[in-house]
């Protein structure tokens, strides 16, 4: 494992280190230590471990009435790990009000596609009439899931994918879903900011569990 500086040495914004690579070894080492990459095209690779850290305990997920109605209508179809590159590419093209440019660079895409091929990175996909209309991606180690980004082209499509990520986490006894940075949207879904110290302790315990490695499906269960 590649050793990163102690995350507790980072300031509250979380910048911890720069440089390195986006190889599977680097990425897996980072996540095991509570660190993730976040940078823009043309910048050096920057590694972060913010304080506080936004975390969702699957049992705390808040299902809103409007989303429940969408789910009950059966408008969308869920697929898992069938279009990973398409999902991360769509996330990279999504305009976000708090970002001038995407942090999901071509190198990030290639790095996470490698992790997907190795069975660590996964996509939850929302399909409508045979077209990909929303989804999210992230990676899983131990019994936790690190959420990275979401996109949608149809209303509620990303929320539909997130709902099914939570159901998957409950079904497979995941301890938590890491949402990284606090946002009002995540808070409305039940996620809460916790001190970095507490997050690192939770992560250490989660990594003691076996990783559900390989291609996931809607029937995957520990």
What is the domain-level CATH number for residue 160? 3.40.630.70
Q: What's the confidence (pLDDT) of residue 221?
A: 65
Averages of pLDDT over runs of 10 residues in the chain (222 residues) are: 94 92 97 95 92 97 94 96 98 67 85 98 98 98 97 96 97 97 88 97 98 93 59
Q: Are residues 186 and 200 both part of a single domain?
A: yes
For residue 152, what are its two tokens?
């949608």
Q: What's the confidence (pLDDT) of residue 100?
A: 53
Q: Domain of residue 41: give its range.
A: 7-48
Q: What's the confidence (pLDDT) of residue 41?
A: 83
Quote the crossing angle between the two packed helices 84-92 and 106-117, to the nearest 10°: 160
For residue 194, what are its two tokens?
């916790």
Strand duo 144-152 + 176-180: pairing: parallel
What is the domain-level CATH number for residue 41? 3.30.70.3550
Q: What's the confidence (pLDDT) of residue 97?
A: 47
User: Kind and range of the H or E element at 127?
Assistant: strand 121-128
Residue 214 lies in a domain: no
Q: Are residues 44 and 59 both part of a single domain?
A: no
pTM of the model: 0.94
Residue 180 lies in a domain: yes
Q: What's the confidence (pLDDT) of residue 181?
A: 86
Distance in angstroms (rounded) separating the CA atoms of residues 32 and 49: 12
Give the Å distances, CA to CA, from 177 to 22, 55, 180, 189.
22, 6, 9, 12
Q: Are residues 11 and 85 both part of a single domain?
A: no
């Amino acid at each position: 494992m590649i050793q990163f500086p102690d995350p507790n040495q980072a300031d509250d914004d979380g910048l911890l280190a720069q440089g390195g690579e986006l190889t599977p070894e680097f990425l897996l080492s980072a996540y095991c230590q509570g660190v993730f990459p976040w940078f823009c095209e043309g910048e050096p690779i920057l590694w972060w471990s913010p304080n506080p850290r936004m975390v969702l305990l699957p049992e705390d997920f808040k299902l809103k009435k409007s989303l429940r109605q969408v789910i009950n209508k059966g408008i969308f179809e869920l697929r898992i790990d069938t279009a990973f590159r398409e999902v991360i590419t769509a996330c990279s093209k999504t305009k976000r009000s708090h970002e001038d440019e995407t942090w999901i660079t071509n190198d990030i895409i290639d790095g996470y596609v490698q992790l997907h091929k190795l069975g660590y990175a996964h996509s939850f996909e929302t399909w409508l009439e045979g077209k990909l209309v929303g989804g999210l991606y992230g990676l899983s180690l131990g019994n936790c899931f690190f959420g990275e980004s979401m996109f949608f082209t149809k209303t509620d499509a990303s929320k539909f994918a997130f709902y099914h990520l939570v159901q998957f986490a409950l079904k497979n006894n995941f301890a938590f879903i890491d949402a990284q940075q606090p946002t009002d949207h995540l808070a409305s879904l039940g996620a809460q900011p916790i001190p970095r110290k507490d997050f690192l302790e939770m992560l250490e315990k989660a990594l003691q569990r076996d990783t559900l490695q390989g291609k996931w499906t809607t029937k995957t269960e520990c």
